[in-house]
Chain A
Amino acid sequence: MKTVEDLRRLREEVRNMTRLREGEAEVRIVVGMGTCGIAAGARETLNTFVSEIAERGLANVVVTQTGCVGLCEREPVVEVNAGDGRTLYGRVTPEKARRILLTHIMGGTVIEEWVTRN
């Protein structure tokens, strides 16, 4: 079982990483967490972004949430705010979330076929 001591160690590790990476450009990932988003699987989408960011040790990629944006039938909806502007993706499954992180956020190429507009 995980213990509080593990958490203290992890906290030190994270503190050292954060110091190294200050000043990099920030990417914001916004996940729609209205009732419509949650029913369509937004919790897994959000948690996939968080765990992929943790696994890849990406600093300055921030995950946040918003409510219903009126695109209920295209949920889970995810907005990526990066250096290339604002991109809205629809029906973002965990697998698509992984691809968006790799191809768009890390690779710099927008995945046009998944882009949706409001």
Chain B
Amino acid sequence: MEELALHILDLAQNSIAAGATEIVITVVEANTANSLRITMADNGRGMDREVLEAVADPFFTTRTTRRVGLGIPLLKAAAEQCEGSLTVESVLGQGTTVEVYFKHDHVDRAPLGDMAATIAAVIAVNPSIEVLYRHEVDGREFTFDSREVRAICEDALQHPKIIEWLKEYIAEHERALGGEQ
């Protein structure tokens, strides 16, 4: 994947497939520590130990249309080629948390990419998912909470004009934050 934001979109699909109603995405950049950490936590159905141990295996999938699952192995490989790491924690019936760590200045690290496009794509086609996003750069932060937008827009949240607005709103704030894009 050319952007970490695409991996985030891909992991969000796992959360959606697991019946999550809330996805919490946290991106923390710390230049002094030379680290970029992405955490995705959902309240989906979670995994038991057996499934959890197999998620990094590219030949394991819960899907039935084909027998190979690549999402997590791809991201794990992307992290490890940057001297980073990926961990998955899950509690059956409660949810799953994926944490990825990258060395910020590693030459092979993909850029964070277009988080506005990723969040807009999740909200546009998933009426029952709330997205909570926080992007921290050296102590400054931008936060977005789809529940606040839903409180204003109610059933119009998924209207294409509202989605367009949200995408531009997030993009503006991401630019102003001055972190990775």
Residues of A within 8 A of B (CB): 1-2, 4, 6-8, 10-11, 13-15, 18, 31, 33-36, 38-39, 43-44, 46-47, 50-51, 53-54, 58, 63-65, 67-70, 72
Contacts and interface: CB of A to CB of B under 8 A. Distances in A.
B107 interface: no
Interface of B: 1, 6, 9-10, 13, 17, 63, 65-66, 69-71, 74, 117-118, 120-121, 124-126, 149, 152-154, 156, 159-165, 167-169, 172-173, 176
Contacts, number: 101
Contact of B165 (A6, A53, A64): A6
Q: Which secondary structure dominates where chain A touches chain B?
A: helix
B161 A14 contact: yes
A64 B121 contact: no
A10 B163 CA distance: 11
Contact of A47 (B6, B17, B121): B121
A30 B164 CA distance: 18
Given A18-B159, A35-B70, A2 B176 contact: no
A34 B63 CA distance: 10
Given A33-B13, A65-B125, 4 more contacts: A11-B153, A43-B117, A68-B66, A69-B65
Given A10-B165, A46-B124, A18 B66 contact: no
B10 A35 contact: yes
B70 A1 contact: no
